[in-house]
Structure 1
Amino acid sequence: MLDLTGITTKAALYQLFKEQLGFEGWYGPSWDAFWDSVVAIVEMPPVLTLTNWEEFARRCSHDMQILRQVMQDYAVEMAPKRIELA
């Protein structure tokens, strides 16, 4: 589970992912790098639950739309693993 409390920018979200999911040092702030990391580089849990995401969604609505699409694509590509909002 990742708690997004206080995450109000895309850069802060990427940093949280890097620190909490153990992404490689080269990981940079992009959705492509996030995708590569969760699909092929780090061992993801069966279910990654993102909590307290609402403030991020309000402040970064475009990136929240992208994240939702990434979550859908991940569920297809990596089934039965998934990323979900709680």
Structure 2
Amino acid sequence: MVIIDVSAARDGRQLHAALSQALGFPAFYGMNWDAFWDAITGLVVMPDHVRFLGWDGLAEHLPREAEALRASLDRYQHQYRAQFVAEYR
């Protein structure tokens, strides 16, 4: 399991930096949702389980970013790995 603390993210760039670091994205990661999709579907090996800490704060401060992240991971689970688990705490 990979634990990602998103509680300090106050803009999209900070969120993408936290995701990139925790999931081991390459240095050329584009810091946007298209690049996130490319990274999780072809550039890195995703863990079986990801737990997000500070989710409520993220959803409050960056609702569009939180929704985009959840939608991307739901799509990843549906299209690529049904056993993938994402927890939002």
Q: Which TM-score band (shorter chain)?
A: 0.7 to 0.9
Q: Give the length in aligned residue pairs.
A: 86
Alignment of 1:23-42 (within 5 A): 23-42=25-44
Measured against aligned partners, the alpha-carbon deviations of 1:6-52 in whole angstroms (never above 9, x if no partner) come to 11211101001111211011101110111111111111110111111
Alignment of 1:59-70 (within 5 A): 59-70=61-72
Partner of 1:81: 84
Structure 1 segments (4+ residues) deviating >3 Å: none
Q: For 2:86 and 2:43, how far apart are their aligned partners in 1? A: 16
Q: For 2:76 and 2:56, how far apart are their aligned partners in 1? A: 21
Q: What's the TM-score once normalised by structure 2's chain length?
A: 0.85
Note the residue ranges of structure 2 that are not aligned, 5 or more in a row. none
How many percent of aligned residue pairs carry the same amino acid?
26
Which one of 52, 55, 68 corresponds to residue 53 of structure 1? 55
Q: What's the TM-score once normalised by structure 1's chain length?
A: 0.88
Note the residue ranges of structure 1 that are not aligned, 5 or more in a row. none
Query: CA shift at 1:83, angstroms?
Result: 2.7
Measured against aligned partners, the alpha-carbon deviations of 1:41-71 in whole angstroms (never above 9, x if no partner) come to 1111101111111111111111222122112
